[in-house]
Chains A and B, each alone.
Chain A
Amino acid sequence: MQTITNDDVDVVIVGLGWAGSIMAIELAKEGLKVRALERGPDRPPEDFAYPKPADQYAYAIKNKVFATPRDAALTVRYNTGETALPTRKWGAFAPGTGVGGSGLHWTGVLIRPTTTDLKLKTYADQAYKRGTLDPDMRIKDFPFTWEEIEPHFDKFDKICGLSGTTGNLGGQLQPGGDPFEGPRSSPYPLPALHDTLNSSLFAATAKKMGYHPFPNPSANVSQAWTNPYGAQLAPCNYCGYCSKYPCLNYSKASPQTAILDVVKRMPNFDYKVNANVIRVDLHADKKTAKGVTYIDEQQREVFQPAKIVILSSFQFANVRLMLLSGIGQPYNPLTEQGTIGRNYAFLSNGDATLFFKDKHFNPFATAGATGEMFNDISPGNFDGPSLGFIGGAKIHSSQATGAPIGTALPPGTPGWGKGWKEGMVDWYGRSMKIGITTTCMSYRGHYLDLDPNYKDPWGQPLLRMTFDWRQNELKLQRHLRDIVLGIAKELKPDAMSENFLGLDSHWDITKYVSTHNVGGAIMGTSPRDSALNRYLQSWDVHNVFVPGGNAFPQNFQANPTATIGAITLFAAEAIKNQYLKNPGPLVRV
């Protein structure tokens, strides 16, 4: 079959989610000819006009706007040497697809890591005695300072209409916000979302106990907002269909609401959907890419020539494309040679569900990011070293949805029959959760590579993930459990159930955690142990940039989107101001 060749472009962007959309608008504004290739379908906002998204079965059970495992599965194993098995159904994580990617349907918690989180290796070396931590841990510092990255966090906050309470403005602590946050140059653009009953109960108790709760920083905006690109967002109406759903109200910051209507007006930008990129094509010397090859809607192979290639197709797919295309050396955990696939990390969660037979929580009246949290248990802000682990967690009471399928019922309620039915009548709307979202370190033996046994519908090997919980994360969970149960006890629920990892827990891929998979193509200061430099530029192929969660050397407790937005903006600046004038490696070692 003949390969079709498209017209030449300056920049080809693989994957039109958050990272791809940021790159698209920043580079198109510079006058470059930009084309985005999106594997999935188009997702125009009118497809999600009120009240269509108010449909739990379609969006949250059948995962209507997600990738399917049929097309996008990975394989998973706990250790090297085992046979990895496919993720035949989604469980612990569920990647998106289509224009907007997961940015279309994310929960909308937009929160920065702390200054310590960005320099975790430095912190670990200072705070922990030699030999205390697992020798297989491979923590690294992010390769930029807070001062360098902060303006980009700030810009992304404004792109998203971040709504919340400022904690640290230019070094001055502000009441009601997070006292542990790094200094901001601007206050939050918009005020916080309103508390629901659960979060106000939680915050009051947490405060009494000496913690410092603040409203979940939210990209579901609290008021009408016009962002720096001129795009408009509408005030959230607490519709209760947020996490996993496209927003029916223009209230959730997404590529659609925040960027795409603006960039689509530019004649030098276009995009193709149902275009599955199967590899990046390199020149013979493998030092630069000449473009990408994709399979189009009619199943034809098409070559898209380009001068710059942006891989922004989500952490998994970015790493997989690098492996399939021969960009950099695949990582070998035994020799620790190679950089593509190393430092893969995930995160864990856990919670206690508190039941109150007489309270009305009205869980359906909520936004995705509704809730209160505290960061007191974050690295550097509590005595982790004496407890024998490194890491921490957001501790929060959130209420992301109140849709009824999957309602938690008190322990002892039968799973079916009259008991279940009456349990639903008695207990729907009578419970709240106190939860944790933890850090996750990276380890020598946790990595990504290509699976030898299983393939995707296009005949290419699936990505293989080798990962499990380690004692560090499990000890962390036990500690957090004590804190959560302590708060729960103060609230005196009528019944309670809990869900935390035990010291002998394996990673259970059937239970949803979050799609905050990170690492695999990390940024660093050296090509010896990282895939990308501080500008997300491949050390090996200098016209390939890889923005995404793949760049994180380990996972912090903050949701990753804010950081992904910031590092992408940082990289876009470097492309505009440095790379275009002088194409080549931007960082010399």
Chain B
Amino acid sequence: MSTDKVNLSRRTILMATAAAIPLVSLSPHRARAEGLEGVELHRYQPVFFSPAEWQFVMAACDRLIPAEGKGPGALETNVPVFIDQQLHAGLGDDVYMQGPHKADAAPTLGFQHDHTPQQMYRIGIKLTQQHSQQAHGKPFEQLAPADKDALLTALQKNGISFADLGEPTLKPSQFFGQFLGDAKNGYLADPMYGGNKDMKAWVAIGFPGARAAYTEWVDAHDVKYPLGPVSLSGKRA
């Protein structure tokens, strides 16, 4: 069929209907905003942590999810950026914080202490560094890897006492638990949150990310899924 083209450069006289389809706001030229995904760790300026705290966080992340072995480490995947951003954005503001707080509640009755995640990191990092100075004469980030691991284990198992360092309620295991949980979240969350850089963690484990469309795969039992992940922003790996 011949389509007679009359080029109407602006809206034609009959394009007058009130309802329009919803328009997505499109940034010019770049279809995808980089946001936190483009961050380079060595150039990143933390917004929550002080420079000294940042040293600790980087070093600790590097042991919690190290570079050695199969799969990327926490530094390669910008996990510290995730943690910094989350704390800055108010992580933990959904928690019920009204008192009174029962410090020695049975663990099965759940989180009961009165520290926000932000306070836990501040206090936990300070006291861990204090212990490191006392025990080794250096800050955490300067310890040998084995000593770092030992100190982290001591935190995890309450092998050191924050009470002895003047902190009445926060236990090392609570600080460690928060930190480890945040690190794992940062490692495996969508890269838009600042971690899991370039979806490297997803690639390593074989998780397809935000594709969320597997109609033709649900019947393929025990077949390796061949396709790399896609992020929420549409990046491919």
Q: Using CB atoms and an 8 Å cutoff, list the residues of chain A in contact with chain B.
A: 46, 50-57, 61-63, 68-70, 73, 76, 83, 85-89, 91, 194, 196-197, 200, 235, 237-241, 248, 359-362, 364-366, 370, 402-405, 407, 415-418, 420-422, 424-426, 428-429, 453-455, 506-510
Distance, CA A73 to CA B97, complexed state (A):
10
Evaluate contact between B205 and A404: CB separation under 8 angstroms. yes
* Chain A: minimal CB distance from B207 (Å): 5
Given A57-B193, A197-B222, A422-B71 in contact, is the A51-B210 Cβ separation under 8 Å? yes
Residue interface bits B160-186, CB-to-A below 8 A is 1, else 0: 000000000000000000001001110
Residues of chain B within 8 A (CB-CB) of A453 are: 100
Evaluate contact between B94 and A68: CB separation under 8 angstroms. yes
Given A86-B98, A238-B218, A506-B108 in contact, is the A417-B190 Cβ separation under 8 Å? no
Partner of A425 from the list B70, B212, B221 (CB cut-off 8 Å) is B70
Distance, CA A455 to CA B206, complexed state (A):
46
* Chain B: minimal CB distance from A418 (Å): 4
Partner of B95 from the list A69, A83, A365 (CB cut-off 8 Å) is A69
Partner-contacting stretch, out of B27-35, B59-67, B132-140: B59-67
Partner-contacting stretch, out of B11-19, B50-58, B109-117: B109-117
Given A416-B65, A509-B108 in contact, is the A238-B214 Cβ separation under 8 Å? yes
B contact residues, range: 35 or more
Verify if B149 is at the interface (C-beta below 8 Å from A): yes
Partner of A507 from the list B95, B108, B112, B217 (CB cut-off 8 Å) is B108
Listed by A's residue number, 18 A-B pairs whose Cβ atoms lie within 8 Å are A85-B102, A85-B110, A88-B95, A89-B95, A89-B96, A91-B110, A237-B212, A237-B213, A237-B215, A248-B212, A365-B225, A404-B188, A405-B184, A421-B69, A421-B73, A424-B204, A429-B205, A510-B108
Evaluate contact between A416 and B106: CB separation under 8 angstroms. no
Evaluate contact between A421 and B65: CB separation under 8 angstroms. yes
Distance, CA A194 to CA B100, complexed state (A):
50
Given A248-B212, A509-B110 in contact, is the A422-B69 Cβ separation under 8 Å? yes
A77's closest neighbor in chain B, by CB?
Answer: B109
Distance, CA A417 to CA B149, complexed state (A):
9
Evaluate contact between B66 and A417: CB separation under 8 angstroms. yes
Residue of A362, A416, A510 contacting most chain B CB atoms (<10 Å): A416
Evaluate contact between B214 and A237: CB separation under 8 angstroms. yes
Distance, CA A283 to CA B120, complexed state (A):
50
Distance, CA A453 to CA B73, complexed state (A):
46
Evaluate contact between B222 and A240: CB separation under 8 angstroms. no
Distance, CA A76 to CA B112, complexed state (A):
12
Residue interface bits B88-107, CB-to-A below 8 A is 1, else 0: 00000111111010100111
Partner of A404 from the list B102, B106, B202 (CB cut-off 8 Å) is B202
Residues of chain A within 8 A (CB-CB) of B127 are: none
Distance, CA A57 to CA B201, complexed state (A):
14
Evaluate contact between B207 and A428: CB separation under 8 angstroms. yes
Evaluate contact between B96 and A86: CB separation under 8 angstroms. yes
Verify if B189 is at the interface (C-beta below 8 Å from A): yes
Distance, CA A506 to CA B110, complexed state (A):
12
Distance, CA A64 to CA B201, complexed state (A):
23
Evaluate contact between A241 and B96: CB separation under 8 angstroms. no
Q: Is the interface of A mostly helix, strand, loop or mixed?
A: loop
Residues of chain B within 8 A (CB-CB) of A73 are: 96
Residues of chain A within 8 A (CB-CB) of B144 are: none
Evaluate contact between B224 and A402: CB separation under 8 angstroms. no
A194's closest neighbor in chain B, by CB?
Answer: B218
Residue of B95, B97, B224 contacting most chain A CB atoms (<10 Å): B95
Residues of chain B within 8 A (CB-CB) of A418 are: 66, 68-69
Given A196-B221, A404-B202 in contact, is the A421-B110 Cβ separation under 8 Å? no
Evaluate contact between A509 and B210: CB separation under 8 angstroms. no
Evaluate contact between B73 and A88: CB separation under 8 angstroms. no
Given A46-B22, A238-B215 in contact, is the A70-B96 Cβ separation under 8 Å? yes
Evaluate contact between B212 and A362: CB separation under 8 angstroms. no
Given A197-B221, A362-B217 in contact, is the A55-B232 Cβ separation under 8 Å? yes
Residues of chain B within 8 A (CB-CB) of A403 are: 207
Distance, CA A248 to CA B213, complexed state (A):
10
Verify if B223 is at the interface (C-beta below 8 Å from A): yes
Given A238-B214, A417-B63, A428-B206 in contact, is the A70-B224 Cβ separation under 8 Å? no
Evaluate contact between A455 and B64: CB separation under 8 angstroms. no
* Chain B: minimal CB distance from A520 (Å): 20
Distance, CA A302 to CA B13, complexed state (A):
48
Distance, CA A197 to CA B193, complexed state (A):
32
Residues of chain B within 8 A (CB-CB) of A421 are: 65-66, 69-71, 73
Verify if B124 is at the interface (C-beta below 8 Å from A): no
Verify if B23 is at the interface (C-beta below 8 Å from A): no
Given A46-B22, A360-B223 in contact, is the A57-B96 Cβ separation under 8 Å? no
Distance, CA A200 to CA B219, complexed state (A):
10
Verify if B208 is at the interface (C-beta below 8 Å from A): yes
Evaluate contact between A508 and B96: CB separation under 8 angstroms. no
Evaluate contact between A509 and B109: CB separation under 8 angstroms. yes
Partner of A69 from the list B96, B202, B212, B221 (CB cut-off 8 Å) is B96
Partner of A240 from the list B190, B214, B224 (CB cut-off 8 Å) is B214
* Chain B: minimal CB distance from A299 (Å): 18
Residues of chain A within 8 A (CB-CB) of B97 are: 70, 88
Verify if B1 is at the interface (C-beta below 8 Å from A): no
Distance, CA A147 to CA B189, complexed state (A):
49
Evaluate contact between A76 and B109: CB separation under 8 angstroms. yes
* Chain A: minimal CB distance from B106 (Å): 7
* Chain B: minimal CB distance from A315 (Å): 19
Residues of chain A within 8 A (CB-CB) of B108 are: 506-510
Given A237-B215, A418-B69, A425-B70 in contact, is the A405-B204 Cβ separation under 8 Å? no
Residues of chain B within 8 A (CB-CB) of A407 are: 205
Residues of chain B within 8 A (CB-CB) of A83 are: 102
Residues of chain B within 8 A (CB-CB) of A61 are: 185, 189
B195's closest neighbor in chain A, by CB?
Answer: A57
18 further A-B pairs in the complex, CB-CB below 8 A; given A197-B222, A404-B202: A54-B190, A55-B210, A57-B185, A85-B109, A88-B111, A91-B110, A238-B215, A238-B217, A239-B213, A362-B225, A364-B208, A365-B214, A417-B149, A421-B65, A426-B70, A428-B205, A506-B106, A510-B111
Residues of chain B within 8 A (CB-CB) of A422 are: 69-71
Residues of chain B within 8 A (CB-CB) of A52 are: 232
Q: Enumerate the 9 nearest inter-chain pairs by beta-carbon distance, A residue then B residue, closest first.
A: A365-B214, A239-B212, A57-B189, A68-B94, A54-B210, A428-B205, A73-B96, A54-B212, A69-B96
Evaluate contact between A402 and B96: CB separation under 8 angstroms. no
Residue of B73, B100, B208, B218 contacting most chain A CB atoms (<10 Å): B218
Evaluate contact between A425 and B105: CB separation under 8 angstroms. no
Partner of B105 from the list A46, A54, A85, A405 (CB cut-off 8 Å) is A85
Residues of chain B within 8 A (CB-CB) of A240 are: 212, 214
Evaluate contact between A88 and B225: CB separation under 8 angstroms. no
Evaluate contact between B190 and A455: CB separation under 8 angstroms. no
Residues of chain A within 8 A (CB-CB) of B20 are: none
Residue of A54, A359, A415, A508 contacting most chain B CB atoms (<10 Å): A54
Evaluate contact between B212 and A241: CB separation under 8 angstroms. yes
Residues of chain A within 8 A (CB-CB) of B63 are: 416-417
Distance, CA A51 to CA B209, complexed state (A):
10
* Chain A: minimal CB distance from B101 (Å): 9
Evaluate contact between A365 and B64: CB separation under 8 angstroms. no
Partner of A420 from the list B65, B218, B232 (CB cut-off 8 Å) is B65
Residue of A83, A238, A421 contacting most chain B CB atoms (<10 Å): A421
Residue of A240, A365, A405, A428 contacting most chain B CB atoms (<10 Å): A365
